[in-house]
Amino acid sequence: MAIEKGQYLATFESESGVAPENLGSVLMPPLDSSHESKSIFYSNGFMLLTKDQAKKDAAAVFFKWLMDPSVYGDFLNAEPGLFVPLTVTGAESDLYKSDAVLQKYPSQVETLLEATSGGCLFGFTDGVCMDIGKITGPNLLAQTLHQMTVNNLSAADAVAWGESEMQKAINQ
């Protein structure tokens, strides 16, 4: 079992020796009926921080080219399954859907696409948390899980440890 995106689709069969039809996928279940199933969803960091209008115009031209249906599917399939479309037209694109790897895993791809409807990024779900970089930079969420899985802390103790470390990071 892996709690991950679809980057394993391209190598699943060759690395596991298991046929594609034996790979299952589901959305992360919510805590209980009062919660929604959510997924992490974010850009890998493309930001244009400039006051230079020429650079802003060049970025707009680039994105117009990238999002063109005749280009976008190839971009998404640079690593089939890892990148999911940002747009409905991208998700419905024949160029995207016709990729050989994605063709082997149609239900898994549908699960990936379904997950995008509940996508969000911690630190940006209720406004912008200006300190989120101090938490994500040293990977304190993963370190909190490490306290349970490697250091054998209880869930409550690991969460308390994580909260303490996050408070220290924010207050530095």
Domain boundaries, the chain: 9-120, 132-171
CA dihedral sign of residues 76, 73, 88, 86: positive
Mean pLDDT along residues 26-47: 70
Q: Does pLDDT of 71 surpass 70?
A: yes
Query: pLDDT at position 46, please?
Result: 58
pLDDT above 80: residue 113: yes
- Residue 86 has a pLDDT of 84
Sign of CA dihedral 61, 67, 73, 78: positive
Q: What is the spatial distance between Cα 17 and Cα 62, in angstroms, rounded to a whole number?
A: 40
Q: Is residue 28 very low, low, confident or very high in pLDDT (cuts 50, 70, 90)? A: confident
Pairing of β 39-40 and β 119-120: parallel
Q: Which of 34-38, 96-100, 134-138, 159-163 has the lowest mean pLDDT?
A: 34-38
pLDDT score of 122: 77
pTM of the model: 0.68
